[in-house]
């Protein structure tokens, strides 16, 4: 049994101008101790699918799935109360903006200890000991004193460490990190990523890293899922993905990495992710794809086998060249 | 913190000085001559008139009167009321507990109902409860207070006979002032039924006086909560698996309290102003009624003293509110 298993998850938002599909039949499988990255640019629905798992979407969201199980619990049928006993304990999440994710009115100690009290029922002294231990674990100097600090007295990197300490408080089986380093500067980014991977190794929890940064992915995770316009377009182990990306979108993302640039100008992907009103008929990536033909623009592609990274494309790329193209 | 306090105090003094000028000038702008009013229908001879002018110092130029008055105020002497011949300060503090008692009960009612109502409305935004509450609040806010008071009196006092029409306590009871608060004094007196009588006299004036602050607090709480509920830290609180009561009532509400306590502080001014109408309608022997009577008698000393003391109270309350900001949100302490 997988730790997290999601089949055919679709999330639609009810908006004033009709339904907007943010996540489109996505499958996610995470085993104990897995290290998975979900990659995609803004608007590709990477956060939304994970917020759906956490039950943090607003009431305007319609969530449907064939299967949505965490650690044996069916998240679709779980009552709000039963779900709250899992969320924050066995699955926890950290967010993009550490500075605004901590409550400015309460000191750090209160915010960490609150989780310990609610989920673990620890006594006052026990909570304090555990909080100090957690602060030490995430590398905060002078933890005893820092517990009484307020969020505005800390830097972004420190705040993110506190968020991580809070998320680890109840020894979760799964940690979802939603662009944890986007708001931080580069040196701090590396420190936080190192911290996350170290913690993942030492505690044996699974980690899902949501990011738009392929550079981060390369150094951090084992497995990568590429999401585009709410769809899972490709999934491979990280080394294979970097060596031989099968989806034109993945290829384009990798080509846009400064480290991999071959000319003086950094390649970019023209256009933006389709929104509510400009959703293409066929393949969602076709308007921006350099390999797209008439078939791509009119028919939605089927999914390829695992040997091709379960890619969602009419002409999966193999070693940079589209497959089956001549045949059609 | 000390620096913050000192900085706030430094604006306090000039404001208070401004208040003395305004209240001094205001009573003198009122049409009507205090000495003629004091003399009554029989009138007064020109010699006696001049004599009285001199006695009260009204023959002096205005600036001189003001300086003398200010000197008195700063040394704690607010002058003597023309009509009762008692020091203004004594008069004020004899009547003030009645107003304070009414204001406190009204404020408790407004806060105790307004904040939860605003929170529930914000959490259920756009649903029936929210719309019903906001409509009610708007009606409460825009209703003329005297009319609302009369409506309540007609319904509950004359119609149903549930509550008394006026006063602080039934005439059957008599006991000494200890604290000046009827609720406490009636309990202390140990007389059977006295407390119940005091409570029944308080109900309608409290409701009337609380109406506007209640509406304002409920609306302000709702809008502050709506803003806060979209914040990242509220999502964090939910991601921690906290119950909705904790998320909304602790994590969100504490952040939403800043604008709410601001309007609570400002409502104290509204309450004291509202007390003038409410006390007049319910014959409540407080400073509101006293001020109205003093204005009709052109009792300069009483009116200007009363204005000043009320202004000082409002200013002190708002100073306390400013200090509370820092306790609620430590981030503000720095600024």
Least confidently predicted of A155-164, A179-188, B220-229: A179-188
Closest by Cβ to B242, choosing from A107, A118, A152: A118
pTM, full prediction: 0.80
Contacts of A93 in chain B (CB under 8 A): 239
Integer Cα distance of B211 and A112 in angstroms: 41
Classify strands A231-237 and A223-228 as parallel, antiparallel or unpaired: antiparallel
Over residues B12-25, mean pLDDT: 85
Closest by Cβ to B255, choosing from A105, A115, A118: A105
CA distance B252 to chain A (A): 9
Residue A84 has pLDDT above 50, yes or no: yes
Nearest to A168 by CA among A227, A90, A53, A260: A90
Check if the beta carbon of residue B236 is closer than 8 Å to that of residue B255: no
Classify strands A91-94 and A4-15 as parallel, antiparallel or unpaired: unpaired
C-alpha distances in angstroms, B166 versus B150, B162, B179, B290, B302?
A: 12, 13, 21, 16, 24
Integer Cα distance of B146 and A256 in angstroms: 72
- Residues in CB range of B174: below 8 A, 6 or more apart: none
Determine how many CB atoms are found less than 10 A away from the CB of residue A254. 18
Check if the beta carbon of residue A228 is closer than 8 Å to that of residue A40: yes
DSSP assignments along B138-179, one per residue: HHHHHS-HHHHHHHHIIIIIIIS--S-SSSSS-TT-----SS
- Chain-chain contact of A93 with B328 (C-beta, under 8 angstroms): no
CB of A61 within 8 Å of a chain B CB? The answer is no
- Mean pLDDT value across chain A: 88
- Chain-chain contact of B240 with A101 (C-beta, under 8 angstroms): no
- Mean pLDDT value across chain B: 83
Closest by Cβ to B236, choosing from A85, A95, A119: A95
Check if the beta carbon of residue A16 is closer than 8 Å to that of residue A277: no
CA distance A87 to chain B (A): 5
Contacts of A89 in chain B (CB under 8 A): 241
Closest by Cβ to A104, choosing from B238, B246, B331: B331
Contacts of B334 in chain A (CB under 8 A): 152
pLDDT of residue B335: 46
CA distance B235 to chain A (A): 7
pLDDT in tens, B21-71: 888 888 778 777 777 777 676 777 788 778 877 777 777 788 888 888 888
Integer Cα distance of A308 and A235 in angstroms: 9
- Chain-chain contact of B241 with A106 (C-beta, under 8 angstroms): no
Best residue in B226, B241, B254 to probe A by mutation, most A CBs within 10 Å? B241
Closest by Cβ to A84, choosing from B243, B251, B334: B243
Integer Cα distance of A26 and A10 in angstroms: 7
Check if the beta carbon of residue B281 is closer than 8 Å to that of residue B146: yes
- Chain-chain contact of B330 with A93 (C-beta, under 8 angstroms): no
* A3: its two tokens: 């730790």
Element (DSSP H or E) covering residue B121: helix B88-123
pLDDT of residue B333: 65
C-alpha distances in angstroms, B172 versus B153, B191, B239?
A: 21, 10, 61
Element (DSSP H or E) covering residue B68: helix B62-74
Nearest to A288 by CA among A251, A263, A317: A251
Classify residue A271 as left (phi > 0), alpha (psi -120 to 50) or beta.
left
Determine how many CB atoms are found less than 10 A away from the CB of residue A297. 14
Residue A152 has pLDDT above 70, yes or no: yes
* B160: its two tokens: 């149903």
Burial of residue B219, with CB atoms counted within 10 A of its CB: 0-12 exposed, 13-18 middle, 19 or more buried: buried
- Chain-chain contact of A102 with B236 (C-beta, under 8 angstroms): yes
Contacts of A118 in chain B (CB under 8 A): 240-242, 246
Integer Cα distance of A196 and A219 in angstroms: 12
Burial B177-191, CB ≥16 within 10 A → b, else e: eeeebbbebbeebee
**Closest residue in chain B to residue A118, using alpha carbons only:** B242
pLDDT of residue A328: 46
Integer Cα distance of A182 and A185 in angstroms: 8
Check if the beta carbon of residue A174 is closer than 8 Å to that of residue A91: yes
Residue A319 has pLDDT above 80, yes or no: yes
CA distance A85 to chain B (A): 6
Element (DSSP H or E) covering residue A66: none
Closest by Cβ to B239, choosing from A56, A97, A105: A56
pLDDT in tens, B171-224: 667 777 767 777 777 777 777 777 777 788 888 888 988 898 999 999 999 999
**Closest residue in chain B to residue A119, using alpha carbons only:** B241
pLDDT in tens, A85-115: 999 889 999 998 888 999 998 999 999 999 9
pLDDT of residue A93: 93
pLDDT of residue B171: 66
Contacts of A116 in chain B (CB under 8 A): none
pLDDT of residue B334: 56
- Chain-chain contact of A102 with B233 (C-beta, under 8 angstroms): yes
**Number of A:B CB contacts under 8 A?**
72
Q: HSE, CB side, 13 Å, CA atoms: give it for residue B280.
A: 16
**Closest residue in chain A to residue B326, using alpha carbons only:** A105
The residues in A 94-123 lying below 8 A from B, measured between CB atoms, are 95, 97, 100-107, 114-115, 118-119
Element (DSSP H or E) covering residue A273: none
Check if the beta carbon of residue B303 is closer than 8 Å to that of residue B294: yes
What DSSP character marks residue A142?
S
Burial of residue B324, with CB atoms counted within 10 A of its CB: 0-12 exposed, 13-18 middle, 19 or more buried: middle
CA distance A321 to chain B (A): 44
Residue at token pair 């404020």: B107
Alpha helices by DSSP H, chain A? 46-54, 80-86, 98-101, 108-115, 124-137, 143-146, 156-168, 186-203, 214-220, 238-243, 248-255, 294-298
Over residues A122-132, mean pLDDT: 91
pLDDT of residue A326: 56
Closest by Cβ to A105, choosing from B235, B243, B329: B329
CB of A163 within 8 Å of a chain B CB? The answer is yes
Contacts of A152 in chain B (CB under 8 A): 330-331, 334
- Chain-chain contact of B241 with A102 (C-beta, under 8 angstroms): no
Best residue in B130, B231, B235, B236 to probe A by mutation, most A CBs within 10 Å? B236
Burial A161-189, CB ≥16 within 10 A → b, else e: bbbbbbbbbbebbbbbbbbbbebbeeebb
* B311: its two tokens: 């202004």
Over residues B232-241, mean pLDDT: 92
Helix (H, G, I), strand (E, B) or coil at B265: helix
pLDDT in tens, A245-291: 999 999 988 888 887 777 778 888 888 888 878 888 889 888 888 88
pLDDT of residue B191: 74
CB of A19 within 8 Å of a chain B CB? The answer is no
CA distance A94 to chain B (A): 8
Helices H, strands E: what count in chain A?
Answer: 12, 13
CB of A92 within 8 Å of a chain B CB? The answer is yes
Contacts of B122 in chain A (CB under 8 A): none
Check if the beta carbon of residue B136 is closer than 8 Å to that of residue B124: no
Nearest-5° Cα angle at B23, B18 to B28: 130
Instruction: Write the ipTM.
Output: 0.87
CB of A165 within 8 Å of a chain B CB? The answer is no
Beta-bridge partner residues of A227: A232
Best residue in A100, A105, A156 to probe B by mutation, most B CBs within 10 Å? A105
Higher per-residue pLDDT: A235 or B189 = A235
CB of A180 within 8 Å of a chain B CB? The answer is no
Closest by Cβ to A103, choosing from B237, B243, B334: B237
């Amino acid at each position: 049994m997988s730790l997290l298993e999601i089949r055919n998850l679709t999330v639609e938002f009810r908006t004033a101008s009709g339904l907007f599909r943010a996540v489109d039949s996505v499958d996610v499988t995470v085993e104990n101790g897995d290290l998975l990255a979900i990659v995609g640019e803004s608007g590709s629905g990477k956060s939304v699918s994970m917020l759906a798992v956490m039950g943090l979407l607003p009431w305007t969201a319609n969530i449907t799935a064939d299967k949505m199980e965490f650690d044996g619990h069916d998240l679709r049928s779980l009552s709000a109360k039963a779900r709250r006993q899992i969320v924050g304990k066995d699955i926890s999440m950290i967010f993009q903006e550490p500075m605004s994710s901590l409550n400015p009115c309460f000191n750090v100690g209160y915010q960490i200890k609150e989780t310990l009290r609610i989920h673990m029922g620890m006594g006052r002294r026990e909570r304090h000991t555990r909080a100090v231990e957690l602060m030490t674990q995430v590398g905060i100097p002078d933890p005893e004193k820092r517990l009484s600090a307020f969020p505005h007295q800390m830097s972004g990197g420190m705040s993110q460490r506190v968020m991580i300490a809070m998320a680890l408080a109840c020894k979760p089986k799964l940690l979802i990190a939603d662009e944890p380093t986007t708001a931080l500067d580069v040196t701090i980014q590396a420190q936080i990523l190192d911290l996350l991977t170290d913690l993942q190794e030492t505690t044996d929890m699974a980690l899902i890293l949501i990011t738009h940064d392929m550079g981060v992915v390369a150094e951090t995770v084992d497995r990568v899922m590429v999401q585009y316009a709410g769809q899972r377009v490709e999934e491979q182990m990280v080394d294979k993905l970097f060596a031989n990306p099968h989806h034109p979108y993945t290829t384009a993302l990798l080509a846009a990495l400064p480290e991999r640039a071959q000319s003086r100008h950094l390649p970019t992907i023209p256009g933006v992710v389709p929104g509510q009103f400009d959703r293409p008929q066929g393949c969602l990536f076709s308007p921006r794809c350099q390999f797209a033909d008439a078939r791509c623009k009119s028919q939605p592609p089927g999914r390829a086998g695992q040997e091709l990274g379960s890619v969602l494309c009419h002409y999966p790329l193999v070693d940079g060249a589209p497959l089956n193209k001549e045949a059609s | 913190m000390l620096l913050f306090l000192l900085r706030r105090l430094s604006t306090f003094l000039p404001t208070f000085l401004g208040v003395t000028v305004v209240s001094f000038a205001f009573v003198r702008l009122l049409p009507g001559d205090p000495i003629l009013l004091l003399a009554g229908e029989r009138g007064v001879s020109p010699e006696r008139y001049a004599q009285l002018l001199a006695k009260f110092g009204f023959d002096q130029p205005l600036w001189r009167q003001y300086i003398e008055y200010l000197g008195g105020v700063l040394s704690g002497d607010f002058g003597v009321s023309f009509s009762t011949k008692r020091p203004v300060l004594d008069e004020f503090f004899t009547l003030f507990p009645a107003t304070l008692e009414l204001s406190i009960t009204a404020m408790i009612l407004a806060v105790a109902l307004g904040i939860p109502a605003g929170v529930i409305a914000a959490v259920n935004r756009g649903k029936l409860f929210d719309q019903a509450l906001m409509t009610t609040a708007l009606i409460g806010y825009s209703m003329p207070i005297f009319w609302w008071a009369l409506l309540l009196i007609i319904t509950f006092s004359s119609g149903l006979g549930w509550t008394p029409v006026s006063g602080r306590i039934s005439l059957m009871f008599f006991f000494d002032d200890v604290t000046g608060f009827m609720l406490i004094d009636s309990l202390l007196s140990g007389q059977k039924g006295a407390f119940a009588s005091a409570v029944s006299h308080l109900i309608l004036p409290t409701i009337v006086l609380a109406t506007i602050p209640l509406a304002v607090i409920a609306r302000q709480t709702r809008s502050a909560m709506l803003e806060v509920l979209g914040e990242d830290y509220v999502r964090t609180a939910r991601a921690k698996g906290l119950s909705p009561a904790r998320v909304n009532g602790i994590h969100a509400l504490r952040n939403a309290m800043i604008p709410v306590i601001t309007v609570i502080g400002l409502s104290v001014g509204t309450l004291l102003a509202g007390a003038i109408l409410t006390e007049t309608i319910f014959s409540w022997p407080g400073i509101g009624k006293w001020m109205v009577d003093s204005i009709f008698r052109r009792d300069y000393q009483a009116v200007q003293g009363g204005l000043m003391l009320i202004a000082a109270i409002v200013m002190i309350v708002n100073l306390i509110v400013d200090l509370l900001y820092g306790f609620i949100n430590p981030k503000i302490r720095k600024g």
